Amino acid sequence: MDYRDRHVVVTGGTGALGTAVVGKLIAAGAVCHVPAHSEKAAQRFPHRDHPQVKIKADGDLSDEAAVGRLFDGVPLWASIHIAGGFAASPVAETSKADLMQQVDMNFVTCFLCCRAAVNAIKRTGAGGRIVNVAARPALEWRSGAGMAAYTASKAAVAALTVTLAEEVAKDGILVNAVAPSIMDTPANRQAMPKADHAAWPRVEEVAATILFLASPDNKVTRGGIVPVYGRS
């Protein structure tokens, strides 16, 4: 896939999946715009000094002004929205604050970045791509028992993806999402040491699917919520 001279925003780009996505984009020739939610996150990001990477320190993506600054002046081809957060608790033990935190971290950030991306891509007149990150419980609701707030927020991301895809197809903007199961990361291995780690999809494998959906090689796929489960 050829991303030469194409500008791509990657939210959550300093995390495990984001790092894999940015690495593949760099190798394909893209210029990556990556928001960092903290200086610490920016410093540990392995691609921070690459000439094709532009890090922006203003990383509160639930804030409209911050999102506006992230996309301002970018001749955008694609926007990949990985940023989010996870929390698990039974409904009976989930406060409104807990619920709204999940909604803000997962759905609001995605919505605001989608809106900014659509406007930025339209300004180029060349079309483009948007890829969101939902989750397996967003498709398989029963698997979200014990983490209803997270599940609902990711289901909202899935619904947003499909409706937005229908809105902007006429503008040459193809919108899709991936829905990962638990991915093979050091943090997940530590949290679940007895799980079958070999069955989990690796972040590089999920990144490859994202890269295709965001690429000019994807000419027809839109409105898809693509399961990336591996063998799990």
Q: Where in the sequence numbering do the catalytic residues fall?
A: 150
The continuous run of DSSP H or E covering 30 comes out as: none
5 is written with which tokens? 């001279």
Name the DSSP class of 201: P
**Measured distance CA(39)–CA(208) in Å, rounded:** 28
3 state SS of 164: helix
135 is written with which tokens? 């989750």
**Measured distance CA(135)–CA(3) in Å, rounded:** 26
